[in-house]
Amino acid sequence: MASIKSMNFDHLVGQTVGTSRLLKKLDNGAMSVVFVAFQKTLKRQIAVKILPKVLLTPRMAELFQQEAEAAAFLSHPCIIPVYEVGQTDDFLFFTMQLIKGKSLSYYIHKARRHILPSKRMLPVKTSLTIVLKILDALDYANRMGIVHRDIKPRNILIESHSQRPIITDFGVARSYSSSSNDSRILVGTPTYMAPEQIVSSIVDGRADVYATGVMLMEMLCGGLPYPPYDSAVKLLKIKLRLQDRLFSKTPSQVNPAVDGDLNDIVLKALAYNAERRYPTCRDFANDIEAYLQRPRKPNAPAEGKIDGAKHT
């Protein structure tokens, strides 16, 4: 079977899809490709996500439709808006807002390459500001009955002019009331996957709490202090075996700018047992907000920037 990476999409440039004309390819995903397009009806540039029918399996079609429906159902400044869903003879598609910016993973990796070891992680206040906005969006989605299930830096776009984080890729999102049976299918990304996702398809917003906690730890540490592993399957087994001993170091052991109070917040979000985790994304955010409102200690770091723009 063909793969998305082996396919050539140059012939689609200039074609009309729905109300839009495709201008150029923007990005490749695991099962789809994204184009920049011009929406003729509203005279604006948008993004069009395409899934070729040659790659289509019933499960992939379900995930693609699920992503469009979940994102279209939600309305939040930090969740990607979806405009139109449809299909042609050759592919399924949906159109969405074109975000001008880069993924959070880009900024994490860029910082990791800094010549100074102390600069190889994102600034603490910047990281917390980004995560607060993500948690607000996830709390809204969870309250609307949608669990994202695949929060990770690659699925967070940082808008260039506003520095607003925007959640994308609801391809494995699931409604609390969903009747679809994917209990035999492991969904999510192993690095950020909550332990309960490994052993059960029945998850709630605490899975998004866990994934956001992993992402925050990565931002604060410049990486994830996992034990060595050589495959995704091995990482999943390590998660189940080591439980709360999964990470070899805490954020405060890696980053001197992280104090004990922030360390405790991150570790609570990462609790192996969902019952000991923050019960909701709002509770996670509340502790971060309370932490940020505390008087700054004399040696605390100043607010940082990402890509030259200050967070507000």
- Residue written as token pair 């956001």: 212
Give the CA count within 13 Å in the CB-facing half-sphere of 138: 36
Output DSSP code: residue 89: S
Pull the structure tokens for residue 4: 């998305």
- Cα 282–Cα 288–Cα 294 angle in degrees, nearest 5: 135
Among left, alpha and beta (phi > 0; psi -120 to 50; other), residue 244 is: alpha
Contact 239, 210 (CB under 8 A): no
CA-CA distance, 57 to 111, in Å (whole number)?
A: 39
How is residue 295 annotated by DSSP? P
Catalytic residue status for 244: no
Instruction: Give the span between the Cα atoms of 135 and 157, in whole angstroms.
Output: 14
Rounded Cα distance, 51 and 94, in Å: 9
Cβ–Cβ contacts within 10 Å for residue 89, how many? 5
Count other C-beta atoms under 10 Å from residue 181's C-beta: 8
Q: Which residues pair with 295 in a beta bridge?
A: none
Pick the catalytic residue: 139, 150, 169, 208?
Answer: 150
Exposure string over 13-35, b if 16+ CB within 10 A, otherwise e: eeeebbbbbbeebeeebebbbbb
The torsion angles phi and psi of 241, rounded to 5 degrees, stand at: -80, -45
Q: Which two tokens stand for residue 272?
A: 């192996």
Provide the annotated active-site residues: 150
